Structure 1
Amino acid sequence: MKKWLLPMFMMVALVLAACGNSDKGEENIDKGAGKDSSAETITYESETGPVEVPADPKRVVVLSSFVGNLLQLGVNVVGVDSWAAKNPNFQDDIKNAEVVENTDIEKILELEPDLIIGLSGIENADKLAEIAPTVLFTYGKFDYLQQFIEIGKVVNKEKEATEWVKDFEVRAAEVGKKIKEKIGEDATVTVAESYNKQLYLYGENWGRGTEILYQAMGLKMPEKVKEVALEPGYFAISQEVFADYAGDYVIFSTFMDQDNAFTEAAWFKDLEAVKNGQLFEVNGNVFYFNDAKTLDYQLDFFEEKFLQ
């Protein structure tokens, strides 16, 4: 029940009760989930305007690809999307988290979050905001490193996020320099993925390690891949023409729950990168994202594979 609907004498009683017991949380619209009138808050300037969020969030629901950013900052996550739930690198940190979607209003309410983070344009954004402070981001509005800093701002850990970014940029540049020295300045790298019997090529900002390879390290993308995938971010092709897009090196994502029998097919084995031992197969569930935790994993992987 909205406070402005209460009779005046009840309003007075509520105010007196609040003064006499400052640790009691302010009641939420339905059941008091995630809101505490005594908790310290900060204001985050979101895309849609200022949002008052907890200064030290304890129960965060993440409805997007940002889970690894929260985990990197040591923030407790109680709700995650299905893709994050499948990431082996996240398992220890989210073992007690529930898998939810933006349509699971009742389920999210039961988690009693004090903060919700997701992507803009999602259904039920207004209902989510009634449960807890909700911050939504447009994918691609910030580059992958600034996005982490923005997440840091939301959870009052901007300093930690900024320090990590500076350190990561140095580490990635150093590894990139060593890789270029080994494979040559003109060597090309293709990032591809097999999913649901379809092959995809990726540009420079669509996860799968693309941000590190092309942006942080400055490795070269094959011209044919650049023509079709750079602007849209990804491009679907048939297996039969993959050889035309494969660079000197190939980062190839596959998923354990998919049919990957094609790796035994003649067209696959005939790829120059395969013949030269320069196709590096990766777990798609691990490489899918571009959050800070995943970036650390990807950087270690590239250092090991390219420089072995």
Structure 2
Amino acid sequence: MTRPHVLRRITGALLATGVAVSLAACTDGGDDTPATDGAADGTTAAASGTTGEWPRTVDSIAVDNGRPTDRTEDVEIPAKPERIVSTSVTLTGSLLSIDAPVVASGAATPGPTSDDKGFFTQWADVADERGVTEIGQLEPDLEKIAAEDPDLIIVSAAGADAAPDLADRLREIAPTVVLDYSDKDWTEVTTQLGEITGHEDKAQDTVRTFTDRAAEVSRNITEPEQPVQFVLPAQDGGLNFMTGDSAQGRILTELGWDLSVPSDDVVRTDGSLTGRTDVVQVSDENLDKALTGRTVFATNADADNPVGDQLKQKPTARGTYAVTHDRVFEFGGETFRIDFYSAMSMLDTIEDYFRA
């Protein structure tokens, strides 16, 4: 049975701009760094004009010598965009979800989380249906961008798909807005892009669609054994554990679940993710102390190599509760990076696993 206070918390959080379930887009374009939130630094790109009015002025992250700064600058968009180019494959999913007229997009390296063009699998079919062309895998091609005759260009300031160094040259082609998705959840990003592109109402509808679906799933399932954890296998054999600040972790906590995070005494202090608040790394030898969840979720793009089976092969993990009781549940590679499409897919999978 769904707990009323949980539903109220889901709904309230999702409808509050900038608070919502934290489902940020990725901070990379093809490596094994998880897609998560960071600490907000106050730099945003949002429309300052009234809804429906054009031209409108928006805040864009200021770029100095090709590097993003902590300042913003005004960018004027003369009319509601009809041809948008996104150099960021991460931001493209959010643009598509609000029906923004994206004509071309940057791409990731083709792999388990993307198609042969480098478009993320969770929205690649939508992009194909709308005729979105690819303008470079991780490195945008200026000639291809110019050939698309855009009236607005969206650029990321962070991540492997960042292109702030091209901002000045891109502005010779069309108004260019630089924004940072790494310190925001997907609802914030969606709301921002709605304001920038004139699709405010559709952005609200997109968030509301997720809100409604989250409430529906909560009603339809039996709560899994608590606490829960969310992990991503690391290349060195250990695990990355998502915290309550992460994109994936917050969707679980917003469903009213108790998210367990490894204690400081077992977390690596020398890993590549040291200093981040959204994810912690644990080495193989400490997995017995870190895997405390009675239900463990994992992102895995390799269906032929289930994470549960991987953990059963590890002496330090095979005796933990979730592993011995087959309580490791997998999501596909699309949950490596969270946008509207992958968030909805995650809810569908949760419903399938725990349907009452």
Deviation, structure 1 residue 133: 1.9
Contact in 2 for aligned 1:63/1:116 (Cα 8 Å): no
Which structure has more relative contact order (CA 8 Å, sep 6+)? It is: 2
- Give runs of ≥4 in structure 1 deviating > 4 Å: 225-231, 257-261
Of 92, 101, 105 in structure 2, the residue corresponding to residue 79 of structure 1 is: 105
The runs of 5 or more residues in structure 2 that have no matched partner are 1-52, 61-71, 159-163, 268-273
Greater share of helix? 1
d(CA) in 2 for partners of 1:307 and 1:183? 10
Q: Does 1:106 align with 2:119?
A: no
Deviation, structure 1 residue 97: 2.4
Q: Does 1:138 align with 2:180?
A: yes
Superposition RMSD in Å = 3.3
Contact in 2 for aligned 1:63/1:102 (Cα 8 Å): no
Residues paired across the two proteins, number: 263
Matched letter for residue 235 of structure 2? N
Query: Which entry has the higher C-alpha Rg, 1 or 2?
Result: 1
Deviation, structure 1 residue 239: 2.6
Distance 1:52 1:236, change over 3 A: same
Contact in 2 for aligned 1:190/1:245 (Cα 8 Å): no
Counterpart for residue 36 of structure 1:
none
Counterpart for residue 351 of structure 2:
303
d(CA) in 2 for partners of 1:182 and 1:150? 33
The runs of 5 or more residues in structure 1 that have no matched partner are 1-39
Contact in 2 for aligned 1:102/1:123 (Cα 8 Å): no
TM-score by length of 2: 0.63
d(CA) in 2 for partners of 1:135 and 1:283? 32
Deviation, structure 1 residue 193: 0.8
1:141-176 deviation digits (Å, cap 9, x = unpaired): 443312211111122111111122134224324434
Aligned identity (percent) is 24
Deviation, structure 1 residue 192: 0.9
Distance 1:282 1:161, change over 3 A: same
Describe the SS at the equivalent of 1:49: strand
Spell out the pairing of 1:26-105 with structure 2 (5 A cutoff): 42-47=55-60, 48-53=72-77, 54-75=79-100, 76-82=102-108, 85=118, 87-95=120-128, 96-98=132-134, 99-102=136-139, 104-105=141-142
Counterpart for residue 273 of structure 1:
322
1:229-256 deviation digits (Å, cap 9, x = unpaired): 9962112222332332221111111233
d(CA) in 1 for partners of 2:235 and 2:185? 28
Distance 1:94 1:264, change over 3 A: farther
Spell out the pairing of 1:174-253 with structure 2 (5 A cutoff): 174-176=216-218, 179=221, 182-183=223-224, 187-198=226-237, 199-207=239-247, 209-214=248-253, 216-224=254-262, 232-246=277-291, 247-253=293-299
